[in-house]
Amino acid sequence: MKGKIGLEEHFAIEDTINDSAGFFPDHIWEELRGRLLDLEGKRLRLMDQHGIETMILSLNAPAIQAIPDPKRANEIARKANDFLAGVVRKHPDRFQALAALPMQDPDLGTRELQRCVKDLGFIGALLNGFTQVGDPNNIVYYDLKQFWPFWSEVEKLDVPLYLHPRNPLPAHAKIYEGHGWLMGPSWAFGQETAVHALRLMGSGLFDAYPKLNVVLGHMGEGLPFSMWRVDNCNAWVEGRHKYPAKKKIGDYFQNNFHITTAGNFHTPALLNAMMVMGSDRIMFSTDWPFENIDHAAVWFDAATISEADRIKIGRTNALKLFKLPGA
């Protein structure tokens, strides 16, 4: 399919690149490092080869979320966002931008989002999971009340917020001890991000700001498969769920969430997601450079779905959600 749009597509700057080392052996890191820093070379060639018209770009992980000092986090976020704005200005038909935000201080995060959207033309933001604040062991999730004014501004600006994974801190990863292969994209990323998303849903955030749009990668981090059970387990026990939100968790998932195919190129998983949430809230992505563009595109182009759904998932859903030209 030509004209695909990808929205979990990463780059790095020198200040953040080393956050992506350590997931791969040294000889693979050579390749990955080059892929992350490249924007106008191999990346554009592969996009051309595989029918990807536009990449909506975001900084690598955890980057800003792992800089405990708010002032430094703000500086690096601004630097990365300014760099990204320059790249998009050069290739407005091929690239769009998601902001990196210093959530160490909700007010700084809000101001940087406003700057990116209003002054730099960014179309949303991407947060790499929880944020470390002050003490590296002090972490915050975005359902906490201090972030509600931030969410209010996200709703007001009417831009989607991509919630991207990061690993849990070692202190919170006892269950993975001695089983390092479960960290990162094989399991811990999805677990961490799914719970964060459920916290948002249960917190009442979407009752207060019902127009928020949150995007999850990796075919929804397991949530499409699990959502029925979240709401319906032990149905014989009356009032068994106690959370501040007014509605069923699945209602928020259905109305405030979107998912992408990033890093999950498996037709049974896609069909499950389509059966649970329909084809209007699912969008193609690759997760470049951690996944290969050809793996994503060759799979998606041949997946056993209707051509009408392929066009929605490959292109038009993203055009609409991000209000891009041609929507």
Q: Which residues are the active-site residues?
A: 287
Q: How many CA atoms lie within 13 A of 229 on its CB side?
A: 5
Q: How far is the CB of 264 from ligand GRE (least distance, A)?
A: 10
Which residue from 74, 287, 289, 321 is in contact with Zn ion, where contact means CB under 5 A? 287
Which residue from 263, 293, 312, 317 is in contact with ligand GRE, where contact means CB under 6 A? 263
| Cβ distance to ligand GRE smaller for residue 203 or 286 | 286
Query: Using CB under 6 A as the criterion, what x/- string covers residues 167-206 for binding ligand GRE?
Result: -----------------xx---------------------
Alpha carbons 108 and 150: distance in angstroms, whole number: 9
Neighbours of 244 (CB within 10 A): 11
Stretch of 22-30, 149-157, 240-248, 284-292 contacting Zn ion, by CB under 5 A: 284-292
DSSP-based helix, strand, coil % in the chain, nearest 5: 50, 15, 35
Q: How far is the CB of 10 from ligand GRE (least distance, A)?
A: 6
Contact status, residue 84 vs residue 16, Cβ threshold 8 Å: no
- DSSP letters for 27-47: HHHHHHHHHHH-SSSHHHHHH
- From the list ligand GRE, Zn ion, none, pick the one residue 315 interacts with, judged by a Cβ distance below 5 to 8 Å according to partner type: none
| Cβ distance to Zn ion smaller for residue 42 or 118 | 42
Nearest-5° angle of CA 264, CA 268, CA 270?
55
Alpha carbons 194 and 216: distance in angstroms, whole number: 9
**Any bridge partners for residue 161, and if so which?**
125, 214
Which residue from 290, 296, 300, 310 is in contact with ligand GRE, where contact means CB under 6 A? 290
Binding site for Zn ion (CB under 5 A): 8, 287
Binding site for ligand GRE (CB under 6 A): 10, 20, 23, 60-61, 184-185, 263, 287, 290
